[in-house]
Structure 1
C-alpha cells in the first residue's frame, strides 16, 4: 500500500508506539528515582556509622586525657561536642533519606497507576481506530502495512477487527487457550434473561465495570508483559477491592472462573462453564466479543 492510505495507518501506529514508549519511560523514571533514593539512604547510613566511630574515638581520647593529672582536656572536650553534633546531623539525614525512600516507594506505585490510567485509554483508542482503519482499507482493496509495535494498529483488540475463521482469535498477552470470541457465534444453554437472575455477589453494573477494566487496563497490561502483582499494586494505589478491582477482573476472566467455550463444527461455540451472566451483560452493553477459554 502506498500514498495517503499507508501514511494514515503508519501515523496511527506511530501514536500508539509513542504512547507505549512514554508509559515505559515514565515507569523507568519512577524506578530510577526510587533507586537513587535508596542509594542516598545507604550513603547516609554509612556516613552515620562513620560519625559514630569518630565520636567513639573522641570520647576515648577525652577519657585518656582526663586520666592524666591536672590535664585541662579543653580541645578533647570540644572535639567530643563537635562529633556529637556531627552524629546528630547524620542521624537526621538518615531519617530524612529513609522517609524519602518510603514516600517514593508509595508514590512510585501511585505514579505508575496514574500514568497507566491516563495513557491506557489513548493506547486503546489508537489500537481500535487503527484496526478500524485497516478493516476499512481492506474492504476497499487496500491493505495496511504499518509497522507493528506496542499500541500500534496491528495489535488492536479483536472487537475492532473482523476475526478470521470461526470468530475466535488468539490475542497477544492472553494465556494459552484464551481467545476473544464473537458473541453472535456462541450458543448459551439456559441463558440469563434479566436483572432478577443476578445474585448478591456481582451486579450487572459490577460486570459492566469489569468488562471495561478488562479492555482498558488488564488486556493492555498483559500485552506489556505485566502479571497479577501489577494489578494488585494498581488496586492498592487506587484503594480498590472486591468486585471492582483489577485483580478480581484479571482472575475472573482468566482464572478459575473464566468463561469456558466448546468449539463446535461450523465455526460456532457453546458455553460449557461459567459466564451466563457475563454474556447477558455483554449483550446489554453492546460488546461484540468476550474473553474465554476455548476447548477444541
Structure 2
C-alpha cells in the first residue's frame, strides 16, 4: 500500500501543473483568437473608410465636370456609381464580419464555460484523491521522496508543489498549502501562520491569507439559499465563488497585476454586471472581505463572511482567502 501511495502522490504532483497549464493555454488561445478577429474587423473598417473617400473624390470630380459648359461627364458619373457600389459591398462585408464575430464569441464563451467546469471537476477529483493519499501517509510510516513537478516548481516536502519558495500552494483547485515558505510545522513564535494548512501567498494584499475551511469555527453557519437576504442575486454570488476558485486565485498566484489581467479578460469575454472576474476579486479582496480572528486552540473564529464561506464550500474549495484580524 505504501508503494501505491508513493506512485499516486507522484501522479497528483504531475497532474496539478498539467491542469494549470491547460487552463493557461486555453486562456492564451482565447486571447489570440480575439486579437485576430479584432484585426480582421479593423481591416474591414479601413476598407469602408477608403471607399468612402474614393466616393467623395468621384463626386467632387463629377461636380467639377458639371460646372463646365458642354462637358461630357458620363465617365465621371459612371465612376461615382462604381464607387457607390464598392462602398455598399464593403459595408455589407463588414456587417457579415461583425455577425460572424458575434456568433463565434457566443460559441467561444459557451466552450470556455464548459472547459472551466471540466477543469473544476478535474481539480476537485485530484484534490480529493490527494487528500485520501495524504491521510494514508500520515497514518503510516511512509515518508514521500521528491516527486515529479513541473518546470518552475519545486517539491514542498509534503508531496505537493510550492511556488518559488513562497507560501505553499499545491492545491490549484482548492488552493491549499502549508505555512509560508513551504513548511507546515509550528515555529517557536507560535504564529497563526504556522498552523498546518495556512499559507500567505506573496501576491495577496497585506493582512490576507489562505485558511483551511476545516480550521474555521462558524457558530452561525448558512444552511442553504433560504438564508440569503431577499434581493440578493444568489446565482451571481455562486458564479463569483466558482470564478474565484477557477480563475481569480490562479491569476493571483501567477503574480504581476492580477486585477488588470482579470479586467482585461472580462472585456475580452464581454462580461458585465455581477458575473465578472473583477467583481469576484473585489468581493473577496475589497473593502468588505471575509474576516477571521486566530484563536489560541489553532482555529479561526469567523467574524464576517458566513455566506461566502457556504458559497465557497459548495464551489469545491477547501481553503478560503480572508483578512486575519491582528495579522501582519
TM-score (structure 2 length as normaliser): 0.64
Q: Which runs of 5+ in 1 are unaligned?
A: none
Map Cα deviations across residues 53-96 of structure 1 (whole Å, 9 max, x no partner): 133223323432xx14xx6x2xx31x123212222123214423
TM-score (structure 1 length as normaliser): 0.70
Shift of 1:280: 5.2
Instruction: Identify the residue that residue 255 of structure 1 maps to in structure 2.
Output: 286
Instruction: Identify the residue that residue 81 of structure 1 maps to in structure 2.
Output: 77
Map Cα deviations across residues 139-174 of structure 1 (whole Å, 9 max, x no partner): 451333321579xx8453373645333232235865
Instruction: Identify the residue that residue 145 of structure 1 maps to in structure 2.
Output: 148
Matches within 5 A, 1:16-165: 16-64=20-68, 67-68=69-70, 73=72, 76-77=73-74, 79-99=75-95, 102-103=98-99, 106=102, 110=106, 113-128=109-124, 136=133, 139=137, 140=142, 141-148=144-151, 154=161, 156-157=171-172, 159=174, 161=176, 163=178, 164=184, 165=194
Map Cα deviations across residues 159-209 of structure 1 (whole Å, 9 max, x no partner): 364533323223586545433311232234x52475675432448777555
Instruction: Identify the residue that residue 188 of structure 2 maps to in structure 1.
Output: none
Q: Which runs of 5+ in 2 are unaligned?
A: 1-5, 154-159, 162-169, 179-183, 185-193
Shift of 1:215: 1.9
Match of 1:182 among 195, 212, 219: 212
State whether residues 128 and 156 of structure 1, in contact with CA within 8 Å, keep that contact through their aligned partners in structure 2.
Answer: no
- Counterparts of 1:220 and 1:229, CA distance in 2: 15
- Counterparts of 2:323 and 2:100, CA distance in 1: 39
Instruction: Identify the residue that residue 166 of structure 2 maps to in structure 1.
Output: none
Instruction: Identify the residue that residue 191 of structure 1 maps to in structure 2.
Output: 220
- Counterparts of 2:100 and 2:202, CA distance in 1: 32
- Verify: 1:278 aligned to 2:313, yes or no: no
Q: How many residues align?
A: 279
Matched position secondary structure for 2:25? helix
Shift of the 247–14 alpha-carbon distance from structure 1 to 2, 3 Å rule, reads: closer
Q: Which has the higher contact order (CA 8 A, sep 6+)?
A: 1
- Counterparts of 2:67 and 2:292, CA distance in 1: 83
Instruction: Identify the residue that residue 170 of structure 1 maps to in structure 2.
Output: 200
- Counterparts of 2:99 and 2:21, CA distance in 1: 31
Matched position secondary structure for 2:146? coil
- Counterparts of 1:4 and 1:183, CA distance in 2: 25
- Counterparts of 1:143 and 1:132, CA distance in 2: 21
- Counterparts of 1:149 and 1:260, CA distance in 2: 32
Match of 2:246 among 216, 222, 225: 216
Shift of the 197–46 alpha-carbon distance from structure 1 to 2, 3 Å rule, reads: closer
Alpha-carbon RMSD? 4.2
Instruction: Identify the residue that residue 191 of structure 2 maps to in structure 1.
Output: none
Structure index of larger Rg = 1
State whether residues 16 and 127 of structure 1, in contact with CA within 8 Å, keep that contact through their aligned partners in structure 2.
Answer: no
Looking at secondary structure, tell me which structure has more helix per residue: 1
- Counterparts of 1:246 and 1:123, CA distance in 2: 17
- Verify: 1:227 aligned to 2:271, yes or no: no
Q: Which moved more, 1:94-103 or 1:80-89?
A: 94-103
Map Cα deviations across residues 235-274 of structure 1 (whole Å, 9 max, x no partner): x55xx755x66555433222222102233456432333x2
